[in-house]
A = this chain, B = another copy of it.
Amino acid sequence: MKITGPPFKRILIANRGEIAVRVIRACREMGIESCSVYSDADRRALHVLMADRAWPLGDPVSRNSYLNIEKILDAARAMDCEAIHPGYGFLAENAGFARQVEESGLTFIGPPAACIEAMGSKTAARQAASDAGVPVVPGAMSHVSEDELEKLTGRIGYPVLLKATAGGGGKGMRIVRDPQGLDAAFRGASSEAGAAFADSSVYVEKYFENAHHIEVQVLFDNHGHGVYLGERECSVQRRYQKVLEETPSPFIDDAIRATMGECAVRLASAVGYRNAGTMEFLVDDQRNFYFLEMNTRLQVEHPVTEMVTSIDLVKEQIRLAAGDALGYGQHDIHPRGHAIECRIYAEDVENDFLPSPGRIVRLDEPGGGPGIRNDSGVYEGFTVPIYYDPLISKLVAWGRDRAEAIGRMRRALREYHVTGIKTTIPLMHMILAHPGFVAGNYSTSLIDRLTARRRGGEHVEDVALAALAVQLLENRRAKSGPASGSHGAASAWKRFSRAESLRKR
């Protein structure tokens, strides 16, 4: 970690929100100037406020701004950047973008374009894994026709899962439990895949009930040296989207952990991988693991790995992209303790997870006491735009063991207050209170098993009604008061506190 001068002078961050802020922080710690880009909807966004430089991209719609390669390369040239960090999402796994960055003479902070390409096809990735001796989920090694599908499913047995070859984000996926449903599922998956990825080809895999999604972080330098940094348990999912992650996985033991890690490194080596990447595995209830796919970028959930390994993955990405050697080997990696991440989305848990953009009226974020980290992309008063991903922050708790991490996460969640928009904080409280989760005994079906509602003690309901009544009383009084306004109690409070603050001078 001894750095003799920053590896780059100036980096462009081709992203927004909390991940752009995360990269800005890494740059600042390394003495690198951070350059943000922003759409018209993001002029007041945190990643613009915190950056050393910022360049406008215009239209809020992603394809005209954050997904517009030309505009981003123009911004990099205009701000005289030496490298581009893509974050995750947007252009992070766009091989064409990576190639154009390199062809512009800039450094792409990520793997070579060829690696992104190779792993972008889910079936090609399966083939590569299989060639490297890494177990893959039984099923097709390339996309299938309707005829081939019937034969294959007959061989691997129901239930099966149809997936888009170019897939991601749960789109073009169908579980099929019997031969009757196969045709309709094939056509549905195919057309959804076509619409989402402009590629309607699908393939088929064996489907496992109650499976675990466990992924392995790898880090490779440009000289062929690589390590794995333990795994992340990502089985708490809702509609194939991760909700909460932790490391280590309470489900696997050290022997499987090491085998999975070695598989991940072997596969990465085989495809000439560089920089940070993640191998996703499916682990069945017999603890057999199968390669699923590779993510050729930083993961949303990278902080849990940082917490237990002490390695700053974003700084490592930057350093490795500059050509630095890794400088440590597998035997130098000693994960310590346990870490959990809760993804805080602007979504209404009580209302079928409807998106909840809008103005954040009041925001108290946890960040105190031992073992708590909150990677946020918003601030009090910020209006969360309607155009982008609903992730507003990632709350991470570390403990010496899993029980301590859970205790800290619960404590931190109680210190997290957002008003103005709805968030998934209530869902997190439910998960952290679920006996199956607390026991470490859960799989991808956990969310479905959550009791929809918990009740506080009788007394707590009284207090909730008391708080409501005080609010209504103040509203009513504010309305009938002399300086009437439609804003009610909060307005009255503002007047009060203003008067007080003037009086204090």
Neighbour of A25 across the interface among B307, B336, B369, CB < 8 A = B369
Within 8 A of B (CB), among A344-372: 358-359, 361, 364-372
User: B residues within 8 A CB of A303?
Assistant: 370
From known contacts A358-B504, A370-B303, A403-B3, infer whether A414 and B28 are also in contact, taking CB-CB under 8 Å. yes
A30–B379 alpha-carbon span in the complex (Å): 30
The answer to whether A497 and B381 touch across the interface, beta carbons within 8 angstroms, is: yes
- In the complex, whether A376 has a CB less than 8 A from a CB of chain B is yes
Of the listed stretches A185-193, A201-209, A404-412, chain B binds A404-412
| Chain B residues whose CB sits within 8 angstroms of the CB of A373 once the complex forms | 367-370, 372
Residues of B within 8 A of A29 (CB): 404, 407-408, 410-411
Q: Which of B31, B306, B374, B411 sits near A368, CB closer than 8 Å?
A: B374
Instruction: Say yes or no: A501-B414 contact (C-beta < 8 A), given A337-B310, A407-B30.
Output: no
**Which of A3, A29, A497 lies at the interface centre, i.e. has the most chain B CB atoms within 10 A of its CB?**
A29
Q: How does the 8 Å CB contact mask read for A322-334 relative to B, with 1 for contact and 0 for none?
A: 0000000000000
Interface size on A, residues (CB 8 A): 63
A486 is an interface residue with CB less than 8 A from chain B: yes
Question: A364 contacts which of B379, B401, B407, B408 (Cβ < 8 Å)?
Answer: B379
| B367 contacts A25, C-beta separation under 8 Å | no
**Which of chain B's residues have a CB closer than 8 A to the CB of A50?**
415
For residue A1, CB closer than 8 A to chain B, the reply is yes
Residues of B within 8 A of A411 (CB): 25, 28-29
Contact with B along A28-58 (1 / 0, CB 8 A): 1111000000000000000000100000000
* Complex interface bits, A367-401 against B, C-beta within 8 A gives 1, otherwise 0: 11111111110011101000000000100000111
Question: What are the residues of chain B within 8 A of A310 when measuring CB–CB?
Answer: 336-337, 400
Residue of B nearest to A503 (CB): B359
State whether B374 touches A367 (Cβ < 8 A): yes
Write the nearest CB–CB distance from A467 to chain B, whole angstroms.
13
B403 & A1 in contact (Cβ 8 Å cutoff): yes
User: Is there contact, CB below 8 Å, between A1 and B367?
Assistant: no
Instruction: Name the B residues within 8 Å of A239 (CB-CB).
Output: none
Tell me which residues across on chain B come within 8 A of A1, comparing CB atoms: 399-401, 403-404
Q: A1, A25, A400, A401 — which one has the most chain B CB atoms within 10 A of its CB?
A: A25
Contacts of A500 in B (CB 8 A): 359, 383
Whether A359 pairs with B497 at a CB distance below 8 angstroms is yes
> In the complex, which of the residues A3, A366, A368 has the most CB atoms of chain B within 10 Å of its own CB atom?
A368
Copies of this chain in its oligomeric complex: 2
> What is the CB-to-nearest-CB distance from A136 to chain B, in angstroms, rounded to a whole number?
34
A337 to B174, CA, bound (A): 48
Give the most central of A312, A376, A486, A500: most B CB within 10 Å.
Answer: A312
Q: Bound state CA distance, A31 and B403, in angstroms? A: 12
Q: Please report the C-alpha to C-alpha distance between residue A50 and residue B415 in the assembled complex, in whole angstroms.
A: 8
Q: Is A250 interfacial (CB-CB < 8 Å)?
A: no
Distance in angstroms between the alpha carbons of A359 and B501 in the assembled complex: 7
Of all chain B residues, the one with the shortest Cβ separation from A491 is B498
A417 CB, nearest partner CB in chain B, Å: 10
Task: Point out the residues of chain B lying under 8 angstroms from A372, CB to CB.
Answer: 367, 373
A293, chain B: closest CB distance, angstroms:
27
> What CA separation (Å) do A375 and B365 show in the bound complex?
12
Contact among B28, B307, B365, B486 for A367, CB-based, below 8 A? B365
A487 CB–B CB distance under 8 Å: yes
Give the chain B neighbours of A159 by CB distance below 8 A.
none
A375-B369 contact, Cβ under 8 Å, with A3-B403, A403-B1: yes
Specify which chain B residues have a CB less than 8 angstroms from the CB of A420 in the assembled complex: 501
Most buried by B among A310, A415, A504: A310
- The residue of chain B having its C-beta at the shortest distance from the C-beta of A359 within the complex is B501
A404 to B312, CA, bound (A): 10
Please tell me if the beta carbons of A504 and B383 are within 8 angstroms of each other in the complex.
yes
Which residues on the B side are within 8 Å of A502 (C-beta)? 486-487
Shortest 10 CB-CB contacts between residues of A and residues of B: A367-B367, A29-B407, A25-B369, A28-B411, A359-B501, A368-B375, A29-B411, A1-B400, A367-B374, A306-B370
A-B contact pairs, 23 of them (CB 8 A): A1-B399, A1-B400, A1-B401, A1-B403, A1-B404, A2-B401, A21-B369, A26-B369, A28-B410, A28-B411, A29-B404, A30-B407, A358-B504, A359-B500, A359-B504, A361-B501, A366-B367, A367-B372, A367-B374, A368-B373, A368-B393, A486-B502, A494-B494
Q: A29-B408, A336-B336, A359-B504 are in contact. List 10 more A-B contacts (CB 8 A).
A: A1-B401, A21-B369, A25-B369, A26-B369, A50-B415, A303-B370, A311-B400, A358-B504, A367-B373, A372-B373
